[in-house]
Amino acid sequence: RYDLRGIVFASNGMERVVELACQVARADVPVLITGPNGAGKERIAEIVQANSARAKGAFITVNCGALPSELIEAELFGAEPGAYTGAPNRAREGRFEAADGGTLFLDEIGNLPLAGQMKLLRILETGQFERLGSSKTRHVSVRVISATNADLPNLIRDGQFREDLFYRLNVIELRLPPLAERSDDILPLAEHFLQGRATLDGGARSALVAHAWPGNVRELKNAIDRASLLCSEGMITARDLALGPARANAGRSPTDAEPDKGMIEAALQRARGVISQAASDLGLSRQALYRRMEKMGIET
């Protein structure tokens, strides 16, 4: 049995990613997770670690995109007193030392400066490194899982990322698709985030499926948390979600080409009653939408 870290999925694409993550967890090799921001890359990294031989070890996370470039090396490899301007007057343990025996998750690896890339390549090959300002070689046993939303081959062509490091990190690649490509996961994820705090009505469900989710799972969680606070009597409507325009033709059910009453009402709410806009969202002509509204008893 696998430890899935509470992950929720219904789509075949996401199921395949999780299955592959559990399989590669057994091999103590670097893993590269690619996909857009907010798609859940750190959760996949947690699944890899939880199903590996290092499951009882530390799981240390570093966001390479959130640190100033001059501090990344000290953050990863540690530093001796006075090793750089503003350094503390005591030795600093780096994240590799903290993760010894466990897993180090390097998020936004594409933002790692070239000097840090060279040191990272060495530690992947030998397990050895030196703290900034020190000549003492240290040794650790750490599994590295990295993640990025960047196009690393393009960065290589531009001279911003080392090709040899790319192949070291990319022993196994797990591509996490954006939420827009796995619409079957939207409602199960929404229910998971609600945790029984409220209920989604038909219009809210239709609005969730129709939305493009440029912010992926993170955006969905924030929308659900917000709506659960704003809704009345524990019932979330499309108005409570306050989502932006739906993606083209996304108002249609993924399993049924004919929009139902809830989908039409949700589209009308999003369009604030503008028939032409609602019809466009649903992939219908204005006349076709009027006919369905009349048939279903939906008032203009």
Q: What is the CATH number of domain 181-296?
A: 1.10.8.60
Instruction: Please spell the DSSP secondary structure of 133-173, one letter per residue.
Output: T---EEE---EEEEEESS-HHHHHHTTSS-HHHHHHHTTEE
pLDDT score for 266: 78
Q: Among residues 211, 115, 231, which one has the least CA distance to residue 162?
A: 115
In whole angstroms, give the CA distance from residue 109 to residue 107: 5
Local structure of 300: helix, strand or coil: coil
Given a contact cutoff of 8 angstroms between Cβ atoms, the answer to whether 189 and 158 are in contact is no
Residue 255 to residues 40, 64, 131, 211, 258, Cα–Cα distance (Å): 25, 41, 56, 16, 9
Per-residue pLDDT tens digits of the chain, which is 300 residues long: 677 877 877 777 888 999 999 999 999 999 999 999 899 999 999 999 999 999 999 999 999 888 877 788 888 999 888 777 777 778 889 999 999 999 999 999 998 989 889 989 999 999 999 998 889 999 999 999 999 999 999 999 999 999 999 999 999 999 999 998 888 899 999 999 999 999 999 999 999 999 999 899 999 999 999 999 999 999 999 999 988 766 644 444 333 346 777 778 877 877 778 887 777 677 677 777 887 888 888 887
List the structure tokens of 122. 């060495």
pLDDT score for 123: 93
In whole angstroms, give the CA distance from residue 119 to residue 252: 51
Strands (E), the chain: 31-34, 59-63, 103-107, 128-130, 137-139, 143-148, 172-175, 199-200, 235-236
pLDDT score for 255: 35
CATH topology classification for 12-177: Rossmann fold (3.40.50)
What's the DSSP call for residue 259?
A: -
pLDDT score for 140: 95
Domains 12-177 and 181-296 share a fold: no
List the structure tokens of 273. 């009653």
Given a contact cutoff of 8 angstroms between Cβ atoms, the answer to whether 64 and 72 are in contact is yes
What's the start-to-end Cα distance of the chain, in Å?
53
pLDDT score for 251: 40
Domain ranges of the chain: 12-177, 181-296
pLDDT score for 240: 94
pLDDT score for 117: 93
In whole angstroms, give the CA distance from residue 242 to residue 223: 8
Burial 183-208 (b: 16+ CB within 10 A, else e): bbbbbebbeebbeeebebbebbbbbb
User: Three-state secondary structure along 203-232?
Assistant: HHHHHHHHECCCCHHHHHHHHHHHHHHHCE
pLDDT score for 285: 72
